[in-house]
Amino acid sequence: MSVVVEGLTKAYGRSSHALNGLSFTAGVGVNGLLGPNGAGKTTLIRLLATVLTPDGGTMRLLGRDPATERSAIRRRLGYLPQEPGYHRGFTVFEFVDYVAILKEMADRRARHDEVRRVIDAVGLTDVSGKKIRALSGGMRRRVGIAQALLGEPELVLLDEPTAGLDPEERLRFRELISRIGENRTVILSTHQIEDVAALCARVVVLKDGRSAFEGTPEELRALAKGHTWLGEKKGGLLSWRTGEGVFRSIGVPPEGARLVEPTVEDAYLLLLGEAALVAAG
């Protein structure tokens, strides 16, 4: 397993525990991190990226201990934070080249070949000479993924890479992330349940700083089997009116309820319980 986390804790101040004894593993493929706001997803991603150090517990990344082998891990890591920033004056090529130098690619010719390779991989070859500030939000995110792919990292961490993107861009990202995950470990933190369902081989659902579920999307979906129904009125833990005018509900179904095949989203909401109600406002 590329990532092995046991009993991880991280607190901000005395009263706020972002992670509270989290344990999970992740291997080659796309691994999803789901959870509501404040569940600890970004904190976990930042810990895995070695931006933060945990207060307790253990981590092994690519077989190494980040406490003592941080540099070795960073050489095999790619990271796209939730809000990546780009130097104002850089073009796409210049920025990715700048990062490539910081990834210790000293040989200019080889470095430029690698920069062109990753820019091509994310579909930005035609705009590589453009200033990043002139690009759309989706294209800027792709610049971020390009820099994360430099040097063929074995572990790629993506924090909310599709947030704020239109559906077309999100589809492009799914294709891109799916390709990235073919032969490396990708950990994808996201709110977008559809992305998890479409992309991820495994998913971890975080709740209150701990793992509420770890398994495949199909196993997650199965949690809601027998707990999802359609009806004329609201019921259960959570209910909403569908486009057909009926209510879709999750929870403990009443007698004679018309059960339906659950989605991953149904299972996620069922798992979150109270947290889902709060999120639903």
Partner 1 sequence: MTGAARVVHGGSRSDVLAAMAINEMWRLLRHPLHLLGAALWSLAIAKNAWDGPRPAFSDLTEPMTLFWGVPVFFAANLVASAARRAGAEEMLGVLPRGRAERTGALGLAAFGPFLVGVAAQALLSFLYVATGNQLERFPTVAELACGPLNLLGAGLLGVAMARWAPWPGASVLSMVVLVSFNLVVNTTGAGYGDGVGPFYLLGFYADFAVWGPAPSLAAAGFNPGSTGWHAVYLFGLCLGAGALAILADSSRRLLWSAVGFVSVLVVVLAGIWQLP
Compose the 177-216 pattern: x for residues touching partner 1 by CB under 8 A, - for all others: ----------------------------------------
Shortest distance (Å) from residue 198 CB to partner 1:
26
Contacts of 184 (CB under 8 A, 6+ apart): 28, 152, 153, 154, 155, 156
Exactly one of 15, 68, 83, 243 binds partner 1 (CB under 8 A); which one?
83
- Residue with structure tokens 């062109």? 116
Among 60, 64, 103, 174, binds partner 1 (CB under 8 A): 103
Rama region for 82: left / alpha / beta (φ>0; ψ in -120 to 50; rest): alpha
- Judged by CB under 8 A, does residue 75 bind partner 1? yes
Of the candidates 23, 69, 98, 260, which one interacts with partner 1 according to CB under 8 A? 98
Q: Is 85 in the site for partner 1 (CB under 8 A)?
A: yes
We find the least distance from the C-beta atom of residue 97 to partner 1, in angstroms, to be 8
Stretch of 7-15, 57-65, 83-91, 271-279 lying at the interface with partner 1 (CB under 8 A) = 83-91
111 makes contact with partner 1 (CB under 8 A): yes
Taking the least distance from each CB to partner 1, the nearer of 145 and 220 is 145
Whether residue 206 contacts residue 44, with contact meaning beta carbons closer than 8 Å, is answered with yes
- Using alpha carbons, select from 50, 57, 20 the residue that is nearest to residue 210: 20
Toward partner 1, which CB reaches closer, 80 or 269? 80
Q: What is the DSSP letter of 144?
A: H
How many Å apart are CA 4 and CA 178, to the nearest integer?
22
In the chain the beta strands, taken as DSSP E runs, fall at: 3-12, 16-26, 29-34, 56-61, 77-80, 155-159, 185-190, 202-207, 210-215, 228-231, 238-241, 247-250, 258-259
How many other C-beta atoms are found inside a 10 Å radius of the C-beta of residue 218?
11
Pick 181 or 262: Cβ nearer partner 1: 181
Instruction: Decide: is 81 part of the binding site for partner 1 (CB under 8 A).
Output: yes
d(CA 78, CA 152) in angstroms, rounded, equals 8
107 is a contact residue toward partner 1 (CB under 8 A): yes
Q: Which C-beta is closer to partner 1: that of 8 or that of 146? A: 146
Compute the distance between CA of residue 145 and CA of residue 158 in angstroms, rounded to an integer.
8
**What is the distance between the terminal CA atoms of the chain, rounded to a whole angstrom?**
38
Nearest distance from residue 143's CB to partner 1, in Å?
10
Which of 12, 16, 53, 110: binder of partner 1 (CB under 8 A)? 110
Task: Using the minimum distance from each CB to partner 1, give the nearer residue, 79 or 213.
Answer: 79
The residues that touch partner 1, with contacts defined as CB under 8 A, are 46, 49-51, 71, 74-75, 77, 79-81, 83-89, 97-99, 101-108, 110-111, 113-114, 117, 144, 147, 150-152
